[in-house]
Amino acid sequence: MRITELLKKESIELGVTAASKEEAINKLTGLMEAGGRLHDRAGYKEGILAREACGSTAVGDGIAIPHAKVAAVKEPGLAAITVPEGVDYDAFDGSLANLLFMIAAPAEGADVHLEALARLSTLLMTPNFKDNLIHASDKDEFLRIIDDAETAKYGAAKGEAEGQEGLKGASQAGENCGESGYCLLAVTACPTGIAHTYMAAENLESTAKKMGITLKAETDGSGGAQNVLTREEIMGAKAIIVAADREIEMARFDGKPVLQVPVADGIHKAEELIKKAASGQAPVYHHAGGGEGASSQAGSGDSMGRKIYKHLMNGVSHMLPFVIGGGILIALAFLFDDYSIDPSNFGKNTPLAAYLKTIGEQAFGMMLPVLSGYIAMSIADRPGLAVGFVAGTVAKMGMTFANPEGGAVNAGFLGALFAGFAGGYLVLALKKAFSKLPKSLEGIKPVLLYPVLGILLGAVVTTLINPYMGMINDGLTNFLNGMGGASRIVLGMILGGMMSIDMGGPFNKASYVFGTAQLAEGNFEVMAAVMAGGMVPPMAIGLCTVLFKKKFTRKECQSGIVNFIMGLSFITEGAIPFAASDPLRIIPSCAMGAAAAGGLSMAFGCTLRAPHGGIFVLPTIGNPAGYLLAVVIGSVIGCGILGVLKKELAEEER
């Protein structure tokens, strides 16, 4: 597929005037809709804004490439505008964006368009190409410039595959560091795998070529890995640059010098990275699993506390889809059921409710095994996965030696947490013990020794500890159930405030994990307080930018409006840019507002059966009016405190 097949004339506009980033996004989404690429413009724009909330898609040097891969997209496409006077798109280098391409990718279906998008991202790194597009006199010339550049670099449509091979070999001229012909290797990956992945790869390869150094870049995009590094190339390379914002396969680099950086550094700091890698300054990477496992990016220099946190977060991140999906389906079952039919069977009285609750229970029931399985895998790589899954299942069953069938104790979330760590470290111990076996037995370790002994020992240890975990779990549950009104309000304030202290960091995650654990135990009020606290920070800031405009810059006021949407969608991280610029005022204000919302949610007796916040789960909330009131009051309190603490800016600073 050619780039020009994705870009219709109806989706191009030249000489646009855009006063803000929001205005540019509105223009581009309108052009995308005019090209017939969308099912739902509002849904697509929501995806664009969500991506921007993770970090601006401006790549500097006057270029921005907003993109989204969502269900609102009917078919892959591009939209483009030129802005001669420029628009502030929050670029890292402070430059105004003159050339903007917006990418629309469907959430599902074939990824035949990805090669064309990769080519566009690559061509945009060529200065002449960008300048020619900005100065195009009409849409026909705009399209012709793209088509000519694509043909020149990749060949005509018939020879596109050869053109891709040409890109792979573009960096082969220069210094050779091994039989593979490549001095340096690189892997690039961004969260969506659409644009930045390919831009970083192209910039690293082209910069290396100018420096006389051979470099090959593997792109780990949404359509899968391309230009994959071979074993021989890895062995022969001097160093590897991993420019990635998500997990990639690292075991293959064990024992090699590796630089691990964000994907943006591959775009903006290519020369610096190449010099550092080529001069031998890259640290040697040691894979935790000795090369037997899957992906890992844990730094060998991390403290024990940091390693434990990473292992825990690996389990939690894999657990969340099961918890959220299952929890919301269970909540919907109660919403669609008829309590009057049979109160004792509420949730399964009607066929629809029974179906939703059954599916939800199955998904939610996998929470504990998935948590422990992926904690163990994070510690010991692939051999730890089965051990952790089984140990987590043993914890969920409440199995004891006196009652092997389970149900004797309630080990719950804490038991599964322990099971994951125990299973992972048991497998590491087995690896160390088996390291002295003859090499001829190497092949039976992952398929026989680790699974059999690991699962057995993991189950035994978990069974042994289950009664103690059950005592702790029951004690905590009884303590929470026995708390009076004032105590529960204090608990809600603490949990709500924690959601705002670091906005996505360890305190935030600790509060969320505690709420999820209590949700599994049937304490639905705790989850409601946690979710209410998480909604407050972005909404308090958004409200403050409206009521106290003179205390914020023009750009902050524009971003503040977006924060309303993010707060209503339970995206606490929308407050991070504000907190980073003024932490001493923003964080305490938001934390106090969030604490108030959490406490009020408890006071109003709000409940939430789904482990997610925002207006999307409002129908599943017990006492939704009280919940909304708690969030509104918390946002107003946070806004008021921030308005008092913030100083008014001078006219020239706004």
Question: How many CB atoms lie under 10 A from the CB of residue 585?
Answer: 18
Q: What average pLDDT does this structure show over 331-349?
A: 84
- In this predicted model, what pLDDT tens digit does every residue of 45-77 receive, in sequence order? 988 888 887 678 887 778 888 888 888 888 889
318 among known catalytic residues: no
Q: Is the pTM of this model over 0.75?
A: no
3-113+123-157 shares its CATH topology with 169-278? no
Q: What average pLDDT does this structure show over 464-480?
A: 84
What percent of the chain has pLDDT above 70? 87
- In this predicted model, what pLDDT tens digit does every residue of 491-507 receive, in sequence order? 999 999 998 887 766 67
- The Cα 325–Cα 317 span in angstroms is 13
Average pLDDT, rounded, for the chain: 82
Full 3-state SS string of 233-300: HHHHCCEEEEEECCCCCCHHHCCCEEEEECHHHHHHCHHHHHHHHHCCCCCECCCCCCCCCCCCCCCC
pLDDT confidence of 117, banded at 50, 70, 90? low
What is the residue type of 84?
P
Question: How many CB atoms lie under 10 A from the CB of residue 509?
Answer: 18
CA distances from 60 to 54, 56, 98, 127, 200 (A): 17, 10, 10, 12, 13
Q: Which contacts qualify for 248-252: CB closer than 8 Å, 24 or more apart?
A: 248/187, 248/189, 248/220, 248/295, 248/297, 249/294, 249/295, 250/285, 250/287, 250/295, 250/296, 250/297, 251/287, 251/289, 251/291, 251/292, 251/293, 251/294, 251/295, 251/296, 251/381, 252/291
CATH of domain 169-278: 3.40.50.2300
Q: What average pLDDT does this structure show over 230-249?
A: 84
pLDDT confidence of 401, banded at 50, 70, 90? very high
Question: 7 in helix, strand or coil?
Answer: strand
- In this predicted model, what pLDDT tens digit does every residue of 264-277 receive, in sequence order? 788 878 889 999 99
Give residue 330's pLDDT. 83
* Active-site annotation holder among 67, 268, 287, 612: 67
What is the helix (H) or strand (E) element at residue 13, kind and residue range?
strand 7-13
Residue 609 DSSP class: S
Domain residue ranges in the chain: 3-113+123-157, 169-278, 304-473, 485-653
- The Cα 149–Cα 146 span in angstroms is 5
Give residue 317's pLDDT. 72
Give residue 193's pLDDT. 56
* Active-site annotation holder among 177, 183, 190, 606: 190
DSSP string, 44-57: HHHHHHHHHHTS--
Question: How many CB atoms lie under 10 A from the CB of residue 117?
Answer: 28
The CATH class given to the 3-113+123-157 domain equals alpha beta
557 among known catalytic residues: no
- In this predicted model, what pLDDT tens digit does every residue of 170-210 receive, in sequence order? 333 334 454 446 889 999 887 555 667 777 888 898 888 88
What is the helix (H) or strand (E) element at residue 315, kind and residue range?
helix 304-336
Would you say 116 and 160 are in contact if contact means Cβ atoms under 8 Å apart?
Answer: no
